[in-house]
Chains A and B, each alone.
Chain A
Amino acid sequence: MSTKAPAVPGSSPVDKAGGAAATFVDQRLGSNRFLARNLGKVFPDHWSFMLGEIVLYSFIVILLTGTYLTLFFKPSMVEVVYDGSYVPLKGVQMSEAYASTLDISFDVRGGLLIRQMHHWAALIFVAAMAVHAFRVFFTGAYRKPREFNWLVGVVLLTLALAAGFTGYSLPDDLLSGTGLQIIRGILQAIPVVGTWAAFLVFGGEYPGTDIISRLYSAHILLVPGLILAMVTVHLIMVWTQKHTQFPGPGRTNDNVVGYPLMPVYMAKAGGFFFVVFGIIALIGGLATINPIWIFGPYTPDQVTAGTQPDWYIGWLDGALRLMPNVESVVFGYTISWNVFIPSVVIPGILFTGMALYPFIEAWVTGDKREHNLLERPRNAPVRTGIGVMAIVFYGLLWIGGGNDLIATAFNLSINSISWTLRISLIVLPPIAFYVTKRICLGLQRRDREKLLHGYESGRILRLPHGEFIEVHEPLTVKEKAVIMSKVDHAPLPLPEKADADGVRNKWYRVKRLQSRLSGFFYGANIPRPTDAEIEAAQHHAGQDAALEAPLHAYEDADQIQAFHGGVLHHPGMPATNAEQASGSPSGH
Chain B
Amino acid sequence: MKFLAARRRSPIVASSLLILALGATGAVYAAVASVQPAVAAVGAQTQVEDGKKLYLEGCSSCHGMQGQGAGTGPTLIGVGAASVDFQVSSGRMPLAAPGAQAVAKDPSYTPEEVAALSAYVASLAPGPAIPTAEQLDFADADVAEGGVLYRVNCAQCHQAAGQGGALTQGKYAPSLMEATPKEMYEAMITGPQSMPVFADSTLPEQDKKAIMAYITAMQEASSPGGLSLGRLGPVTEGLFVWTAVAAALVGAAVWIGIKAR
Residue ranges of A at the interface with B (Cβ–Cβ < 8 Å): 45-48, 50-51, 53-54, 87-92, 105-106, 112, 116, 120, 123-124, 127-128, 131, 174-175, 259, 264, 268, 271-272, 275-276, 279, 283, 285-291, 294-296, 301-311, 314, 401-405, 407-408, 411-416
Contacts and interface: CB of A to CB of B under 8 A. Distances in A.
Interface stretch (B4-12, B25-33, B112-120, B221-229): B221-229
B125 interface: no
Interface string B128-161: 0000000000000011110110011001111111
Contact of A287 (B221, B225, B235): B225
B241 A415 contact: no
B83 to A, nearest CB: 24
A38 B234 CA distance: 43
A408 B166 contact: yes
Contact of B256 (A131, A268, A415): A268
Nearest to A279: B248
Contacts of A174: 151, 155, 160
A272 B233 contact: no
Contacts of B199: none
14 contacts: A47-B258, A48-B257, A87-B217, A88-B147, A90-B144, A123-B237, A303-B155, A304-B155, A304-B159, A308-B235, A311-B235, A314-B235, A405-B166, A408-B166
Contact of A408 (B145, B161, B164, B237): B164
A128 to B, nearest CB: 7
Contacts of B227: 286-288
Given A123-B241, A408-B166, A279 B252 contact: yes
Contact of A88 (B143, B159, B168, B231): B143
A88 B158 contact: no
Nearest to A303: B156
Interface residues of B, number: 60
Given A283-B245, A287-B225, A47 B254 contact: yes
Interface of B: 100, 142-145, 147-148, 151-152, 155-161, 163-170, 172-173, 214, 217-218, 221, 223-229, 231-235, 237-238, 240-242, 245-246, 248-250, 252-254, 256-258, 260-261
Contacts of A116: 225-226
B228 A54 contact: no
B246 A314 contact: no
A96 B111 CA distance: 50
A66 to B, nearest CB: 18
Contacts of A127: 241-242, 245-246
Contacts of B100: 413
B173 A305 contact: yes
A92 B147 contact: yes
A412 B240 CA distance: 22
B163 A264 contact: no
A45 B253 contact: no
Contacts of A283: 240, 245
A314 B242 CA distance: 13
A47 B257 contact: yes
A91 B240 CA distance: 34
A406 B193 CA distance: 21
A308 B233 contact: yes
A120 B231 CA distance: 16
Contacts of A403: 166
Contacts of A92: 144, 147-148
Contacts of B250: 47, 51, 131
A88 B217 contact: yes
Nearest to A312: B238
Nearest to A268: B256
Contact of A306 (B145, B170, B233): B233
